[in-house]
Amino acid sequence: MTASTPRQAQQESTAAPVLAVDVGGTKIEAALVDPAGTVIAGTRIRVPTGAESASSASAFSDALHAAVSTAADHPLAAGVARAGIGAAGPVDLREGTISPINLPAVHDFDIVGAVKSVTGIEDVRLRLDGTCIALGELWRGAAEGARNAIAFVVSTGIGGGVIADGRVVTGESGNAGHLGQVVIDSPVDGDVFGATVEGQASGKYAVAWARQQGWRGETGENLGADAAAGSEVARAAIERSVQALGKGLASAANLLNTEIAVMGGGFSHVTADYAERVQAAARLHSVNAYARELRVVRAQLGRDAPLIGAAALVLRPDLLA
């Protein structure tokens, strides 16, 4: 796609709202986003995907239809003619399909075609959810004005997007920024995923590791509460997450000369000082002095970031490399 000129971007910013869709491992959200990059109050629809969608493509399709059709039928959606989708990956931009790691039954799903079919909108643009988070934070959030950054979420999984020379990089097939799949350890018994940042640092896998050590909680919130109460296993699980994420960010900073890492996601709040601890770990594991200057900061857009970024695919295409 050819990037818009600043003048074209300004013209687009005066256009109608767009339909924004965010597809994650546990939910699908859809909303209308106005030209200024604000999620319009009362238009957000959230539909859980859950275990059914993980094992059934048709269940996922039903959840997508429910979220998108409800948002598209909102009275404020009259005249909306463009849509942006941010989706858990991998994605295939050439085919308009997604194959989310945390939804194994959803493989090569034609999400662009599905949204077109549900809404009648022909201008539908797809990118990785991490790309959209980076776009949102670059446009209106903590990365605004940054030239070289990485934006990511620590949640069920770990997804990210790369900002290089002031624009978000998408990569050959659209999957640049998969921080969660950076390999930081040696596989054990052939388990490559367990050797990745996501396999050690995400909320899902931090909880799973703690349970293997005898901890009896079930959620990231439980893990944080028990760590605060003094549980050694809970504390160890969180520290394991911190170190794994720090190693991944150290690699990114050394490779890309990244100045700032913008972190969001529910599990990033497992402790109040999680961001500071991750920054310290990233600096500890960095080889080069320039990489040890990396700053880890909290995202500013919160749960709106994926939707604002999906809308930016339409409203601010000039921010895409």
Residue 157 lies in a domain: yes
Check whether 4 has a pLDDT greater than 50: no
Residue 53's pLDDT band (cuts 50, 70, 90): low
For residue 190, what pLDDT is reported?
A: 81
Tens of pLDDT, residues 265-305: 999 999 999 999 999 999 999 999 999 999 999 999 998 99
Residues 95-134, buried b or exposed e (16+ Cβ, 10 A)?
ebbbbbbbbeebeebebbebbbebbebeebbbbbbbbbbb
Check whether 2 has a pLDDT greater than 70: no
Residue 138 lies in a domain: no
For residue 52, what pLDDT is reported?
A: 72
Tens of pLDDT, residues 189-202: 888 889 999 999 99
Compare 179 and 3 and report the one with higher pLDDT: 179
Q: What gap in Å lies between CA 205 and CA 197, rounded to an integer? A: 10
36 in the same domain as 77: yes
Q: What gap in Å lies between CA 203 and CA 182, rounded to an integer? A: 16
246 in the same domain as 118: no
* CATH number of the domain to which 81 belongs: 3.30.420.40
Residue 286 lies in a domain: yes
152 in the same domain as 59: no
Residue 212's pLDDT band (cuts 50, 70, 90): very high
197 in the same domain as 223: yes
116 in the same domain as 30: yes
Q: φ and ψ at 78, to 5 degrees? A: -60, 125
Q: What gap in Å lies between CA 127 and CA 113, rounded to an integer? A: 14
Residue 12 neighbours by CB distance under 10 Å = 17
42 in the same domain as 17: yes
CA-based R_g, the chain, Å? 19
Q: What gap in Å lies between CA 263 and CA 256, rounded to an integer? A: 17
Check whether 12 has a pLDDT greater than 70: no
Count of domains forming the chain: 2
Residue 313's pLDDT band (cuts 50, 70, 90): very high
Tens of pLDDT, residues 129-164: 999 999 999 999 999 999 999 999 998 889 899 999
Residue 8's pLDDT band (cuts 50, 70, 90): very low
Residue 139 lies in a domain: no
Q: Give CA 198 to chain center in angstroms.
A: 12
Residue 268 lies in a domain: yes
The boundaries of the domain holding residue 17 are 6-133+304-319
For residue 219, what pLDDT is reported?
A: 96
309 in the same domain as 293: no
For residue 205, what pLDDT is reported?
A: 95
308 in the same domain as 295: no
Angle 58-62-65 (CA atoms, 0-180°, nearest 5)? 135
289 in the same domain as 157: yes
Query: Taking the model in full, what pTM does it have?
Result: 0.89
Residues 144-178, buried b or exposed e (16+ Cβ, 10 A)?
eebebbbbbbbbbbbbbbbbbeebbbbeeebbbbb
For residue 54, what pLDDT is reported?
A: 64
Residue 279 lies in a domain: yes
For residue 290, what pLDDT is reported?
A: 97
Check whether 36 has a pLDDT greater than 50: yes
Could you give the dihedral angle defined by the CA atoms of residues 279, 284, 287 and 290, in that order, rounded to the nearest 10 degrees? 40
281 in the same domain as 191: yes
Task: Give the percent of the chain with pLDDT over 90.
Answer: 83
For residue 51, what pLDDT is reported?
A: 72
Check whether 27 has a pLDDT greater than 70: yes
Compare 55 and 114 and report the one with higher pLDDT: 114
222 in the same domain as 259: yes
Residue 231 lies in a domain: yes
Q: Which of 1-15, 112-126, 224-238 has the weakest average pLDDT?
A: 1-15
Residue 1 lies in a domain: no
Please choose, from the candidates 240, 312, 229, the residue with its C-alpha nearest in 3D space to the C-alpha of residue 274: 240
Mean pLDDT across the chain, nearest whole number? 92
Check whether 13 has a pLDDT greater than 80: no
220 in the same domain as 98: no
